[in-house]
Structure 1
C-alpha cells in the first residue's frame, strides 16, 4: 500500500486530469460506465431466477452481492468514469485550491448524465434480448427493483449516504493498492457490502430500478425518480463529507 500522502497526491493529480479532460471523451467514458455497470444487476436477475429461495437465504444473498460487484469491477478496472467515485476524487482538488466549484459541478454533471443514459440504454437492450435467451424471469427484476423503491424517502437518503461513504473509501483504497488482484478484492468486498446491505447506489440502482420499471406494473416512474433523487443526494453527501473532507483533512494535518 502507498503512504497516505502519496495516495492523496495521486488522487488530486488524477482528479485534475479529469477536471480538465475533453468533454466529448468524458461523456463517452461516462456512457460506457453506465453500460458496463448494468451487467451487475443483470447477473443478479439471473441468479435470483435460478434460486428457489429468493432474498433472505445467506447463500443467495452472497451470490447476489457478488453478482452486483461484477459491474463495478468492469467499470473501475476499465477506468471508465463513475459518478460515485468522483464525489470523492474530484472534490479533493477543490478543497486543495487547485480547481473551482464550477469545474467540479461540470464534471459531476457530465459524468452523472452519461452514467444514467448508459444505464438506460443497457436496461432497454437487456429487457429486449434477455427473455428470448430464457435465463432471467421478469419477476426477478421486479423483486430487485422493489427492494429499493419500497423504502421510505428518509431511509433512501441515509442509506445513500452510507453507500456514498463506502464508494469514497473504495476510490481511496483502489488508489492506495498497487496490484490488480488487490484492487479486484477491494472492489468486491466494498461493493458486495453495498449489495448485501441493499444500500442505494445511484448508478447501479438506476439500472436495478429501471429493470423493475420496464418489466413490472408495481414500480412507477415517480418511484424511480424519487429513488434516483434521494440516492444521488445521499451518495454525494457520503462521498464528499465522510471521505473527501475527512481524508483530506487528516492526511494534510498529519503531514504538517
Structure 2
C-alpha cells in the first residue's frame, strides 16, 4: 500500500538515514564545528520563545501557551540542516550496525558536534544575559527555566533524558520520511512540543538557559556539568536504543525473512531438479502435467513445516514470475502479498514493493531431454 499512497516504506526511510549518516561522517571537523555552534545558538530559541511567552502571559494557562513555542529551536536547526547532538549524530549508529564499521568516525562526529553545541549554547547565554538585549522580565523567566532544570533530582534528569532522547531521535526519523518542508515542520512541532511541555531533559535545548543562569550567578558551573553529563547519557540511551536499534531491527528483520524464504525456495528447487531428473529417466511414469512432488511452503515463518503437493508443470509456472510464492492458505500477509492464484490446497501470492523479488532466488533447472 505504501507506494500507492505516496508514503515511504520503512526500508526506504532506513536507506535515507544511511545516506544522511554517510554524508555526516564525510564532513570535515571544521564544517561540523561551525554547524554545531550554529545549532547550539539556534536552540536558544526554545528557551527564548518560552520565556518571552511566560513574561507576556502571566497567570493560569500562560505556561501551557508558552510551551507551544518550545519547538522553535528544533525547527530552526532541523530545517536549516545544522548539526544537533541527539538528532543527526544518532544516524551513524544505524550505519555502524549495518556495515559493522565507522565506530571511530562516529565518536569523532559526536565529540565535535557535542562540544560545538555547548559552545553555541554558551554564545546564546552570553547574548541573552550580558548584552542587556532582553527585557528584565523576560530575562527573569529565562533564568527561572535554567535554575528549575538544574535543580531536578538526577534520577529524574536521567529518566526524562531517556524519554527526551527517544522523542528527538524519533522526530529525526520521521522528518526523514516527510516529503515537504511544511510536513517536516509539522512533525518537528508535534514531537518536540511534549518534550517542553513535560519538562524532559535535552542536553542542548536546556543548556542555553542553564548557562544563562550560570552567568547570572543563579547556579554553579559544577551543577551544570553534572546535569549535562546525566542528561546526555539519558539522551543517548533513549535515541540509540529506543529508536536506532528498533528501526534497524525492523528493517533488517525483513531481510531475515527474505533469507528464510530464499532457503525454502532453494529446498523446492532441489526437489524440482530431482523430480525432473526422475521423469527424464522414466518417461513411462507420465509427463509433467501429471507428475507431482511435495514442496515446502514458501512463507516467511521460520517455524513453518507445512508441505504443498504440486505438479511439476505448476511449479515451473510458479517460478516463471520472480515475485510469486506458493504458500499454504492462511500463511500469506494480505497487506503486502495479494493472492494471484487460488489452487484450493495452496495459494500463489505476489510479493509487492521494490524489494519483492528475491535476488537469491535460484533459477529452475530445465528438464533434461
Specify if TM > 0.5: yes
- How much does 1:107 deviate? 0.5
Structure 1 match to 2:243: 243
SS of 2:67 mapped into structure 1: helix
Structure 2 match to 1:221: 221
SS of 2:201 mapped into structure 1: coil
User: Aligned pair in 2 of structure 1 residues 101, 133: CA closer, same or farther (>3 Å)?
Assistant: closer
Larger relative contact order, structure 1 or 2 (CA cutoff 8 Å, min sep 6)? 1
- How much does 1:132 deviate? 4.8
- How much does 1:136 deviate? 4.0
Structure 1 match to 2:205: 204
Distance 1:161 1:183 in 2: 23
Structure 1 match to 2:82: 80
Residue pair 1:66, 1:192 contacting (<8 A) in 2 also: yes
- How much does 1:221 deviate? 1.6
Structure 2 match to 1:30: 36
Q: Which has the higher helix share?
A: 1
- How much does 1:175 deviate? 0.2
Q: Is 1:122 aligned to residue 124 of structure 2?
A: yes
**Number of aligned residue pairs:** 250
Structure 2 match to 1:51: 57
Distance 1:37 1:188 in 2: 14
User: Aligned pair in 2 of structure 1 residues 73, 132: CA closer, same or farther (>3 Å)?
Assistant: closer
Structure 2 match to 1:138: 139
Unpaired runs of 5+ residues, structure 1, are none
4+ residue runs over 6 A deviation: none
- How much does 1:137 deviate? 3.5
Alignment root-mean-square deviation, CA: 1.6
Q: Is 1:164 aligned to residue 165 of structure 2?
A: yes
- How much does 1:112 deviate? 0.6
Kindly report which structure 2 residues correspond to 1:169-208, keeping only aligned pairs within 5 A, or say none.
169-208=170-209
1:41 to 36, 47, 56: 47
Q: Which moved more, 1:62-71 or 1:221-230?
A: 62-71
- How much does 1:111 deviate? 0.7
Bigger-Rg structure (1/2): 2
Q: Which moved more, 1:208-217 or 1:101-110?
A: 208-217
Task: State TM-score, norm by structure 1.
Answer: 0.92
Unpaired runs of 5+ residues, structure 2, are 1-6, 259-369
- How much does 1:227 deviate? 1.0
Structure 2 match to 1:12: 18
Task: State TM-score, norm by structure 2.
Answer: 0.65
- How much does 1:216 deviate? 4.4
- How much does 1:252 deviate? 1.5
Q: Which moved more, 1:36-45 or 1:107-116?
A: 36-45
Structure 1 match to 2:252: 252
Distance 2:13 2:200 in 1: 27
Distance 2:89 2:199 in 1: 20
Q: Which moved more, 1:28-37 or 1:63-72?
A: 63-72
- How much does 1:214 deviate? 2.1
Distance 1:132 1:29 in 2: 24
Distance 1:223 1:48 in 2: 25
Distance 2:249 2:120 in 1: 34
Distance 1:132 1:246 in 2: 44
- How much does 1:179 deviate? 1.3
Distance 1:17 1:137 in 2: 39
SS of 1:90 mapped into structure 2: helix
Structure 2 match to 1:96: 98
